[in-house]
Structure 1
Amino acid sequence: MKKIVLFGDSLLTGVMNGETSDILDQYILDELSEMGFPGYQLIKLGQRGETSSDGVKRIEEAVEAEGDFVVISFGTNDSLNLKNSVDLFGENIEQMLRSFDAAKIILLTPGYVNTAIRTDGDNERQQIFAERAKQVAEVSGVNVIDLYHHMTVYPEPNEFIQAADGIHPSMEGYHFLGALIARDIKEKLLAEG
């Protein structure tokens, strides 16, 4: 059975109403099955509250999982908690990307934050971190999903965010994210022939 490793922060743990769930997992697997690619197993290596520096410390865990695909998502905690500069974030992401075959990686940028609820959030800063992730991905030859862009092109991006915390995806947001991840995996599979 082919494996998809989800390596990152709480975005990849499927947090709903403050608790981790399998909502994102189900959306990814359902989307892949509907596209004609059933039979995947998800390895969940998301950790709540982690920054990219935390991710670097446990990169071996993700490498040892030997995924056919690796979804990497860090940056929101770097941005929100002001723990890492955008330069250190970029260096950390670059180090993570070097740990895998570029053809296997899907990098997610940080997304949009509902600043009316998460008042410590700064979407300009989120966008700066998203741009840095895209730059690193381009240099590394890695697929990137610009989550910030995908969320903000809609007239009401807050629909994709839980009202409970202003940061984690709503049910619609997880469905949207699952579809984006599944689409990129499908494109990789089709490119392989």
Structure 2
Amino acid sequence: MKKIVLFGDSLLTGFMDGKTSDSLAKYILAELTEMGFPGYELVELGKCGESSSDGLARIDEAVEAEGDFVVISFGTNDSLRQKNTLEAFGENIKEMIESFDASKVILLTTGYLNTDISVGGDNEQQQRYAQKAKQIAQEVGVNVIDLYHHMTIYPKPNEFVQAFDGIHPSKEGYHFLGALIARDIKEKLLAEG
């Protein structure tokens, strides 16, 4: 059975209403099955509250999972809590990516925040971290999903964010994210032939 490793912060844990859930994992698998790619196993290695430096410290865990695809998502805690400067974040992400075969990696950027609810949030800062992730992805040649962009091209991006905290995706947001990840995996599979 092929494996998809979800390696990141709480965004990849399906965090809903203050606790982790399997919602993102279910959406990814359902989307892949619907696209004609059933039979995947998900290895969930997301941890709440982690920064990119925390992720880098446990990168071996993700490498040892031996995924056919690896989704990497860090940056929101770096951005919100200033745990790492933009440059340190970029270096951490680059080192994480270089731990894998580039053809297996999908990098997910930071997303949009509802700053009416997450009053400490700063969408300009989120965009800076998203841009840094995109820059690193281009440098090392991996796929990137610009979550911030995808969320904000819609007229009502707050629908994609939980009213609980203004940070984590809502049910609709996780469905949307699952579809984006599944689409990227499908493109990689089709490119492989």
Task: Give the root-mean-square deviation of aligned CA atoms.
Answer: 0.3
Partner of 1:36: 36
Structure 1 residue matching 2:50: 3-state secondary structure: coil
Partner of 2:9: 9
**Aligned: 1:111 with 2:116:** no
Distance in 2 (alpha carbons) for counterparts of 1:127 and 1:20? 25
* 1:35 positional shift: 0.2
Counterpart residue identity of residue 171, structure 1 = K
Return 5+ residue gaps in structure 2 as ranges. Answer: none
**Aligned: 1:136 with 2:142:** no
Deviation readout 1:2-56 (Å, 9 max, x if unpaired): 0000000000000111110000000000000000000000000000000000000
Partner of 1:191: 191
Counterpart residue identity of residue 56, structure 1 = L
* 1:83 positional shift: 1.2
* 1:112 positional shift: 0.4
Counterpart residue identity of residue 48, structure 2 = R
Return 5+ residue gaps in structure 1 as ranges. Answer: none
Partner of 1:97: 97
Instruction: Give the TM-score, by structure 1 length.
Output: 1.00
* 1:91 positional shift: 0.2
Structure 1 residue matching 2:16: 3-state secondary structure: coil
Partner of 2:161: 161
Structure 1 residue matching 2:37: 3-state secondary structure: coil
Instruction: Give the TM-score, by structure 2 length.
Output: 1.00
Deviation readout 1:110-129 (Å, 9 max, x if unpaired): 00011000000000000000
Distance in 2 (alpha carbons) for counterparts of 1:42 and 1:83? 28
Partner of 1:26: 26
Off by >6 Å, runs of 4+ in structure 1: none
Structure 1 residue matching 2:42: 3-state secondary structure: strand
Structure 1 residue matching 2:97: 3-state secondary structure: helix
Distance in 1 (alpha carbons) for counterparts of 2:56 and 2:74? 10
Counterpart residue identity of residue 105, structure 2 = I
Distance in 2 (alpha carbons) for counterparts of 1:83 and 1:40? 34
Distance in 2 (alpha carbons) for counterparts of 1:129 and 1:72? 14
Distance in 2 (alpha carbons) for counterparts of 1:57 and 1:82? 18
